[in-house]
Amino acid sequence: MSKLGDLGARLHRGEVGYDFIGNRKIWYGLSILITITAIVALAVRGLNMGIEFQGGAVFTTPKSDVSVSQAQDYAEEASGHDAIVQKLGNGSLRIQVGGLDTAQSDKVRTELAKDLNVPEDKIAAELVGPSWGEQIATKAWTGLGVFMILVVIYLAIAFEWRMAVAALVALIHDLTITVGIYSLVGFEVTVGTVIGLLTILGYSLYDTVVVFDSLKEQTKDITKQTRYTYSELANRSINGTLVRSINTTVVALLPVAGLLFIGGGVLGAGMLNDISLSLFVGLAAGAYSSIFIATPLVADLKEREPAIKALKKRIMTKRASAAAKGESAEDADGLSMDAAEAAVVGPRTGRRGRTEERRG
């Protein structure tokens, strides 16, 4: 067995572990700081919206030796607006200029043909109206709202409402961070970005549901034992699924990282950045939130229940009593486990027990 596999097995058995729940205030503080940074970036810098949302024209030229920066200067000089230029794989240029109407688009096309020294009829021009972008944005918000509602309903039925609330908070956390990153790096927000944002919602929930399922199983009949508090079982659930979460996240991130850093960075296919950045950040944020946000939040909400609060008080009292008698933590846990087994299994008064009693 590999070292990682051996670690995963030991984590699953509870032989080793990290106190994620005990340090939850650190994770909450870190998440709040990142979220505030994202919100401030959105308020100050805003988003670099593509022409699909603000309207404009897209010009695709034949193969050209003109550099991207020079083509950008030509386009901005001809249009009077900011331009975004991308060099495509076949050597052609894709030039986006926002805020142009049909007459302005024809004029810019003529000027670009002269500057780039290519035939005007070889430059393809596509005009996009802002109303189309508004429709896309409205449908995206509608889809996001419907998705959130369905997720909350499903998790409330499959698990409980506290887990549904925690998962919803984690989703909002992931989306806010992803959009904030777009604002900070200045990547263009296109239809591909919207698709990426909607895609990461499912990925963000994946690890969360895995941990929740383990937690649900471990906390079944929790009040019938006095060995573990709810937070301790939540911590065991995180540690038990930790290696699985890491493996699935890394496997998912590798191809997305290839799209982002190799496709968009090295090869210069800038259009890949639209969707790959949202997927990359969303996958990483989703793995983080399922471990450091969603599950600790469930533990906080559950331990407000009177029954769970009373259980924790009994466990703490028993451990304090054992410590006062000089017993080790293992002895205290052993006594607690005996009590838990008695509560779950019931008194051992079967046929064998009566036979031994008569022999006595």
Task: Of 37-41, 59-63, 84-88, 107-111, give the range with the top mean pLDDT.
Answer: 37-41
What are the structural domains of the chain?
3-49+132-306 (1.20.1640.10), 56-128 (3.30.70.3400)
Q: How confident is the model at residue 350 (pLDDT cuts 50, 70, 90)?
A: very low
Share of the chain above pLDDT 90, in %: 18
What is the rounded end-to-end Cα distance, in angstroms, of the chain?
Answer: 50
- Between 22-36, 266-280, 296-310, the lowest mean confidence (pLDDT) is in 266-280
d(CA 159, CA 28) in angstroms, rounded, equals 23
pLDDT digits (tens, 9 = 90+) for 131-175: 666 777 788 788 888 888 998 899 999 899 999 999 999 999 999
Residues 193-218, mean pLDDT to the nearest whole number: 84
Give dist(CA 46, CA 173) in Å, integer.
18
d(CA 217, CA 192): 39
Lowest-confidence segment of 99-108, 132-141, 279-288, 310-319 by average pLDDT: 132-141
Angle, helices 230-257 vs 191-218, to 10°: value is 150
Beta bridge partners of 94: 60, 86
Q: What per-residue confidence (pLDDT) applies to 260?
A: 79
Mean pLDDT of 278-285: 88
Dihedral (C-alpha) 223, 224, 225, 226: value to the nearest 10 degrees? Answer: 50
According to the model, what pLDDT value does residue 16 have?
A: 66
Q: Report the candidate in 190, 196, 193, 191 with the shortest Cα–Cα distance to residue 49.
A: 190
